Structure 1
C-alpha cells in the first residue's frame, strides 16, 4: 500500500473558504459551484486550469506517495506523525 502526507487548512479557516470559492468545490462537503472568471482569465480558462486541483481540493503535499519500509506499519506511521505534530511549533504568519 502507498501512503502520502498532505496538509489542508481546517474547514473554518479563511484560506479554506477562499480556495473552495476559487476552485469551485468545497472538499469538506463536496458542494460545487460554477467557477468564476479571475482577472484576465475567463471562467472556462479558470475551470480548465483548476480541474485537477478541484478534484483533490486545496492542499499541500508534504510527502509524495510512498511505500512503508518492510519493518514499518500504518500504526507506526501514524504514531510518528502524531509525535512530529506534537513536537513541532505551528507556523504563524
Structure 2
C-alpha cells in the first residue's frame, strides 16, 4: 500500500471505546474498512468530515515524507521513540465541544500526554517535508495568533506544543443550536470509559489514495 501522508495517532486499544468510535464515524482506522453506523438520523452528515481519519487523537499531524526518507526508516524511528517514552494518563475523557465540533477530551492533569505529543512532533520532524504554500495559506485563514504562526512556520502546523489540545473527534462543525441534541445522542451511545484513562501506545498511520487513513503499526510506550 502506498501512502501520501503519515500522522502519529493515539488509537484506543481494542474494546468498547474503539468499537464505539469506529461505528460512530463509520470508518475503522485499525482495519481500514467501512464500519456500520448506528441508525441515527443525520449521523452520516455530521461525521462526513472526521470519517476519513477514523477515531483517534492526533499526536503529530499528517505530513508528507521528506526527500530521502523512507517509510521503513519512519517505522523504525517511531518504534525507537515509543521505546523511549513513558506512558501517561489523564483522570478521564469527557465529551466536550471544541471549535463547534464534539470530541472526547482529557480532564485533569494532561502534562504526561503533552510530553508524548511534544516528543512526536519534535523527534520525528526530520521525516516531514515542508508544508506546501497552499496548505500554509489555508491554515492562516483561521486567523492565527503570533505564536501559532511561529509554530506553523517551524513545525508545519499551528496547534502543537503549548497550543496542543488532545481530542478524539466525534463530529464536524455543528450549528450552535444542534450541539445539545448531538451531545445527548453521543452520551446515549458512549460506553463506559476506563478511569484514569491511559495513553500507553502510539500509532503510525497512513493516508491512502482514497483519502482515508488506516493503521500501519502500533507501538507500546515502554520508556
Provide the TM-score with structure 2 as the length reference. 0.32
CA distance in 1, matches of 2:72, 2:23: 35
Match of 2:35 among 28, 32, 36: 32
Taking a change above 3 Å as real, the CA distance of residues 32 and 66 of structure 1, as seen in their structure-2 partners, is closer
Structure 1 segments unaligned to the other structure (5+ residues) = 38-42
* Alpha-carbon displacement from aligned partner over 1:51-75 (angstroms, at most 9, x marks no partner): 1322332123332332334453333
CA distance in 2, matches of 1:68, 1:75: 11
Q: What is the aligned partner in structure 2 of residue 20 from structure 1?
A: 22
Is the Cα contact below 8 Å between 2:22 and 2:28 reproduced in 1?
yes
Structure 2 segments unaligned to the other structure (5+ residues) = 90-196, 198-223
CA distance in 1, matches of 2:66, 2:53: 26
Taking a change above 3 Å as real, the CA distance of residues 50 and 77 of structure 1, as seen in their structure-2 partners, is same
* Alpha-carbon displacement from aligned partner over 1:26-63 (angstroms, at most 9, x marks no partner): 442735324344xxxxx21x221101322332123332
Provide the TM-score with structure 1 as the length reference. 0.64
Match of 1:90 among 64, 87, 90: 87
CA distance in 1, matches of 2:27, 2:5: 24
Q: Alpha carbon RMSD of aligned pairs, Å?
A: 2.7
Post-superposition offset of 1:86: 0.7
CA distance in 1, matches of 2:27, 2:4: 26
Taking a change above 3 Å as real, the CA distance of residues 82 and 32 of structure 1, as seen in their structure-2 partners, is closer
